[in-house]
Structure 1
Amino acid sequence: MTSTSRGIDVSAYQPAQDWKALKADGLTFAFAKASEGQKTHDPKFATHIKGIKAAGLIAGAYHFAWPNQSAATEAENYIAAVKAYAGPGFLHWLDLERYSDGRNYKGLSAAQIKAYATVWIAAVKKAFPGQVVGIYTSASDIAAGHVPSGIPLWYPAYPWGAATYARAEAATRPKPSGRTVTFWQFTSTPVDRNIAYLSPSALREWAQGDTDDGDEPKTYTPPKYPTGLAPNKAKPSAVTLQRALKAAGYMAKSVAESPNYGPRTQAGVVKFHNAHPAYRAKGKTSDPAIGPNGWAALFRLAYAK
């Protein structure tokens, strides 16, 4: 059985929760609605998110999307709502779902909805560098092509109505339109319950962000140097990468240093990816490419003792 973590999500429709009791009962994460559209803020967001963070749960927030409005303005609305609470380990979600009457999707093509999501995600990533930004969305939205690739997915599907965490954990991991989901919202009764397909410790590490987006070429191009993470002032090079891999235990110390990004260096990067929960969640454990965020994560493992 795949290791999982348990969580819930809340909005103004739910009263204040006893988050410490929920954590003691096995909860690992919780998300709260922060905003909607261009101006609306959820009136209970501050109450919910303060409680979630105070209990030591992995915290996150979501924004309900109106793709037929300005993505930039909606991103600004969300950023303003969460900026006092966001930080390392905070998860950001775009709630991309159609109202039953379609009013928030009215007049848009699939390409336009996808473009809206792309702009919103980019703006939130820019506002909160290194933090995870994902999409909560349905099977129909995924099938319609509304969802950009390479984005963590939080997926709602209720096959049983009311259900226990144990039942969801024993079920097959959903894969809508062949997409890998990181979180599954499996029931809304009596509250929105979710599982994440990472163990609690792996989820905490994944939530720290700073992982590659998978778009780097399969040859080594030195990324921008990660400020404050290096043991010396050497420029990022294949040799510097090899030294970091050795220090983190992903390359044998006996391997000779080389200016080339050869098979042994690539194998070390793959070993790093295979051990890192964020890459496992994204199905990129065999990727030999490493970019700026992966470089930073590797250096933390190697040198931030």
Structure 2
Amino acid sequence: MTSTSRGLDVSAYQSAQSWTALKADGLTFAFAKASEGQSTHDPKFGTHIKGIKGAGLVAGAYHFAWPNQSAAAEAANYISAVKAYAGAGFLHWLDLERYSDGRNYKGRTAAQIKAYASAWIAAVKKAFPGQVVGIYTSASDVSAGHVPSGVPLWYPAYPWGAATYARAEAAARPKPSNRTVTIWQFTSTPLDRNIAYMSPSALREWAKDDDGDEPKTYTPPKFPTGLAPGKAKPSAVTLQRALKAAGYMAKSVKESPNYGPATQAAVAKFHNAHPTYRAKGTTHDVKIGPKGWAALFRLAYDK
């Protein structure tokens, strides 16, 4: 399965956390709200970020956006809030989400909101060269075209309400409007919990060595023609190796170009775990399709 890291994010609404204990329990990263709009600083930011950094977690901060105000002024507000704490390995995020009454988006078109986001990101990158700058935003903002291309995406979606890290790690990686999600905020109960789609060591390296883009992603091999249950093709061996790497086939099973019963059973097991890739109307699907093939290989090798 894809390697992940566990994280939290906090703001003035949360009390001080026992960050050292959380790290000992497996937490890798944490972000704190730093600012909002043109002049507001989060009153607990200093307390939160000092604790996060003191525990040795991958640290970051976010700014709640008002796209109907000046991007330059908002970036300056954020920069002033975080400059004492930002350094190599620090992650910066623009929290681009609409208030329920729309007051922070009022009077702005999708193109103007995207331009605001681009300008804010550029200003923060200029202030903190070599540090990652990304966007936290919803599926509706992504589909509306508010998010510049190539920007790391921190994505909130809560399919279960309260949920454990293990449940999120076992679920399929979200892909709103076919965008790659770097970090998934999967619940806000009792705290905002997140998983990053990188191992802890990879997350630290990415944070330290930013090239300005989304983290590099794995590209699955092209779906082979003629691969089907009951047929003999060399690609069946490739499929079997991916099934083993992803944990759906026992490593003791002998590899063979035959797409036989053992391979069929393993494919059915994969489909049962990820029914999205099962053929419609079936409950026991032993035939891997192009989308399932790509998803399986990402689970197996996108580390």
Superposed CA deviations along residues 85-116 of structure 1, whole A, max 9, x for unmatched, are 00000000000000000000001100000000
**Cα shift at 1:211:** 2.0
Q: Does 1:211 align with 2:211?
A: yes
**Cα shift at 1:210:** 3.2
1: CA distance, partners of 2:193 / 2:79: 25
Question: Would the aligned equivalents of 2:93 and 2:136 in 1 still touch at CA under 8 Å?
Answer: yes
Q: Does 1:279 align with 2:231?
A: no
TM-score by length of 1: 0.71
Summarize the alignment of residues 161-180 of structure 1 with structure 2, pairs less than 5 Å apart.
Answer: 161-180=161-180
1: CA distance, partners of 2:121 / 2:195: 23
Structure 1 counterpart SS, 2:28: strand
1: CA distance, partners of 2:189 / 2:110: 31
Unaligned runs of 5+ in 2: 221-303
Residue in 2 aligned with 1:89?
A: 89
Q: Does 1:14 align with 2:17?
A: no
1: CA distance, partners of 2:211 / 2:151: 12
In structure 2, relative to structure 1, the CA distance for the partners of 1:103 and 1:40 (3 Å cut) is same
Residue in 2 aligned with 1:248?
A: none
1: CA distance, partners of 2:56 / 2:117: 30
2: CA distance, partners of 1:210 / 1:6: 20
2: CA distance, partners of 1:206 / 1:48: 23
**Cα shift at 1:279:** 1.9
In structure 2, relative to structure 1, the CA distance for the partners of 1:213 and 1:31 (3 Å cut) is closer
Superposed CA deviations along residues 55-80 of structure 1, whole A, max 9, x for unmatched, are 00000000000000000000000000
2: CA distance, partners of 1:146 / 1:120: 13
- Root mean square deviation, CA, Å: 1.6
Summarize the alignment of residues 138-153 of structure 1 with structure 2, pairs less than 5 Å apart.
Answer: 138-153=138-153
Residue in 2 aligned with 1:192?
A: 192
Structure 2 counterpart SS, 1:75: helix
Structure 2 counterpart SS, 1:205: helix
Residue in 1 aligned with 2:76?
A: 76
1: CA distance, partners of 2:41 / 2:193: 23
Question: Would the aligned equivalents of 2:137 and 2:154 in 1 still touch at CA under 8 Å?
Answer: yes
Runs of 4+ in 1 over 4 A off after TM superposition: none
2: CA distance, partners of 1:210 / 1:60: 14
In structure 2, relative to structure 1, the CA distance for the partners of 1:193 and 1:44 (3 Å cut) is same
In structure 2, relative to structure 1, the CA distance for the partners of 1:46 and 1:212 (3 Å cut) is closer
Question: Would the aligned equivalents of 2:67 and 2:113 in 1 still touch at CA under 8 Å?
Answer: yes
**Cα shift at 1:213:** 4.3
Structure 2 counterpart SS, 1:203: helix
**Cα shift at 1:212:** 5.6
Superposed CA deviations along residues 125-144 of structure 1, whole A, max 9, x for unmatched, are 00000100000000000000
Residue in 2 aligned with 1:257?
A: none
1: CA distance, partners of 2:211 / 2:118: 18
Tell me the percent identity.
84
2: CA distance, partners of 1:88 / 1:127: 13
**Cα shift at 1:209:** 3.0
Residue in 1 aligned with 2:64?
A: 64
**Paired amino acid for 2:80:** A
Residue in 2 aligned with 1:35?
A: 35
Structure 1 counterpart SS, 2:8: strand
In structure 2, relative to structure 1, the CA distance for the partners of 1:184 and 1:201 (3 Å cut) is same
1: CA distance, partners of 2:92 / 2:211: 15
**Paired amino acid for 1:30:** A
Between the two proteins, the alignment pairs up a number of residues equal to: 221
Rg comparison, structure with higher value: 2
Structure 2 counterpart SS, 1:161: coil
Residue in 1 aligned with 2:55?
A: 55
Structure 1 counterpart SS, 2:146: coil
Residue in 1 aligned with 2:131?
A: 131
